[in-house]
């Protein structure tokens, strides 16, 4: 693609790049649609697929039952503890009252109160017995609660073991599925990349270049979006290796291209001035002059210095004199800007 200098040509080129982009995005859209409508080749797997449903179901039911029983035992324990507190408070109050009464009785020494002493002692014993009974009820509920907690813990740990065994099989299967999905995607993408590579090498400057570049965009998109995220990682091994291979390939291409360019340039600079001028396209020469570099060797030259008529680097003629009016003019201009005479070619 030479540098266009004509105003309309520039706009045409810009429009054609838009055509390339649009062509590429429509291809991407169509490709996405096709991939979406392909039959699903792999089912989505979960850990559940690898659990023995009967064993896991039995353990889950056990855990459920144990949890409910534990909750019931906890409620009963709360109630029993409340009752124990009441019984303790009753007994403590009765004990205090009895002690006071006993002190009064010793002070007054009234023998007719012996019967009451017996009754009060019996009452106190009954309260102590009630307290003891409430304590026994609390202890019984604590035992029930502990039993249920242990049963639940046992079922949980059995389920945990079952899940750990299933997880291993699940990860193995996921890995091989990942590999298969990558294989399908590679089989779809690789031909596209091959065609794109061939188009880039052979057709990128052809008349139909907007379509060529559109297709190259499409292939690059397919590679980076549809393939790269599906490269199995294996702890980064494959991804880094693919990255290294790609970098080496691109780097090799760039290095060879640079060497070819330098070689071509060296050969061109060795040719006589007239022939070099013929090889340079008019538009390229003007574009390079516009960037204040020598059209022949692309090194920078002070074009405003009227003493410089030849490139000090490669010796190509930059300015000459009109054959008709002897005005100093650009050696690349086709006509004299002062008299309009055609330049000798
Ligand atoms: Zn030069
Ligand atoms: Zn002239």
Ligand 1 centre and the CA of 159: distance in Å? 81
Residue 282 CA, ligand 2 centroid: distance in Å: 19
CA distance 134 to 307: 119
For the chain, the first-to-last Cα distance in angstroms comes to 25
C-alpha 301 – ligand 1 centre gap (Å): 8
Say if pTM beats, i.e. exceeds, 0.75.
no
Residue 340 Cα to ligand 2 middle (Å): 6
Please name which ligand lies nearest the alpha carbon of 328.
2
Q: How far is the CA of 299 from the centre of ligand 2 (A)?
A: 28
Q: Which one of the ligands is nearest to 340 CA?
A: 2
Cα of 328 from ligand 1 centre, angstroms = 19
Contact 315, 322 (CB under 8 A): no
Question: How close is the Cα of 326 to the center of ligand 2, in Å?
Answer: 6
Which-ligand-closest: CA of 344? 2
What does the pLDDT read at residue 293?
A: 94
CA distances from 322 to 210, 274, 302 (A): 41, 16, 21
330 Cα–ligand 2 center, Å: 11
Helices 114-203 + 209-221 axis angle, to 10? 150
CA proximity to 309, closest of 327, 331, 290, 285 = 331
pLDDT for position 1 = 44
| Cα 153 from chain centre | 38
What's the gap in Å between 10 CA and the centre of ligand 2?
A: 30
Ligand nearest to the CA of 322: 2
CA distances from 292 to 83, 287, 300, 302 (A): 102, 9, 6, 7
Ligand 1 centroid to Cα of residue 298, in Å, is 6
By the 8 A CB rule, do 124 and 167 touch? no
Angle between helix 53-108 and helix 114-203 axes, rounded to 10 deg? 150
Ligand 2 center–CA 319 separation, angstroms: 13
Amino acid 345: pLDDT: 59
Neighbours of 193 (CB within 10 A): 16
Task: Write the DSSP assignment of 55-86 as a string of letters.
Answer: HHHHHHHHHHHHHHHHHHHHHHHHHHHHHHHH
Distance 199 CA to ligand 1 centre (A): 33
DSSP tally for the chain: helices H, then strands E: 7, 2
For 150-186, give one letter per residue: b (16+ CB within 10 A) or e.
Answer: ebbeebeebbeebbeebeeebeeeeeebbeeebeebe
CA of 317 to the centre of ligand 1 (A): 9
Separation of alpha carbons 189 and 194, rounded Å? 9
Ligand nearest to the CA of 288: 1
Residues with CB under 5 A from ligand 1 (ion): 294, 296-297, 311, 313-314
280 Cα distance to chain centroid = 48
302, 293 Cβ separation under 8 angstroms: no
Contact in structure between 329 and 337 (CB atoms under 8 Å): yes
**What does each C-alpha distance from 253 to 33, 195, 315 come to in angstroms?**
34, 17, 31
The pLDDT of residue 64 is 93
- Output Rg (C-alpha) for the chain, integer angstroms: 48
Nearest to 214 by CA among 241, 196, 239: 196
**pLDDT mean by block of 10 residues, the chain; 345 residues:** 71 93 94 78 79 88 92 93 93 89 79 80 89 93 92 92 91 87 86 92 90 93 85 78 92 95 89 84 89 92 92 92 93 92 80
13 Cα–ligand 1 center, Å = 29
> What's the pLDDT score for residue 4?
62
């Amino acid at each position: 693609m030479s540098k266009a200098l004509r105003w309309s040509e520039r706009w045409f080129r810009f429009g054609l790049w838009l055509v390339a982009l649009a062509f590429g995005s429509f291809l991407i859209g169509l490709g996405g649609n096709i991939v979406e409508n392909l039959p699903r080749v792999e089912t989505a797997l979960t850990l559940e697929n690898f659990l023995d449903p009967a064993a896991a179901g039995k353990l889950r039911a056990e855990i459920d039952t144990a949890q409910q029983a534990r909750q019931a035992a906890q409620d009963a324990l709360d109630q029993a503890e409340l009752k124990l507190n009441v019984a303790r408070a009753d007994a403590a109050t009765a004990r205090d009252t009895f002690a006071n009464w006993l002190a009064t009785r010793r002070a007054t020494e009234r023998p007719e109160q012996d019967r009451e002493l017996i009754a009060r002692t019996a009452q106190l014993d009954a309260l102590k017995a009630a307290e003891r009974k409430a304590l026994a009820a609390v202890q019984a509920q604590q035992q029930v609660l502990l039993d249920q907690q242990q049963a639940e813990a046992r079922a949980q740990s059995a389920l945990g073991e079952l899940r750990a065994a299933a997880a291993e099989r699940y990860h193995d299967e996921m890995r091989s599925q990942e590999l298969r999905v990558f294989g399908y995607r590679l089989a779809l993408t690789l031909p596209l990349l091959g065609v794109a590579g061939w188009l880039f090498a052979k057709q990128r400057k052809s008349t139909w270049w907007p379509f060529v570049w559109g297709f190259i965009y499409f292939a690059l998109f397919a590679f980076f979006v549809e393939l790269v995220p599906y490269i199995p990682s294996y702890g980064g091994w494959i991804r880094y290796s693919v990255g290294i291979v790609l970098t080496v390939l691109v780097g090799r291409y760039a290095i060879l291209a640079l060497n070819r360019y330098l070689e071509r340039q060296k050969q061109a600079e060795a040719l006589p001035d007239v022939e070099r001028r013929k090889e340079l396209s008019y538009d390229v020469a003007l574009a390079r002059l516009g960037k204040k570099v020598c059209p022949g060797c692309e090194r920078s030259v002070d074009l405003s210095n009227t003493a410089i008529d030849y490139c000090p680097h490669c010796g190509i003629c930059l300015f000459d004199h009109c054959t008709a009016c002897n005005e100093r003019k650009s050696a690349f201009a086709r006509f004299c800007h002062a008299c309009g005479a055609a330049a000798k070619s």
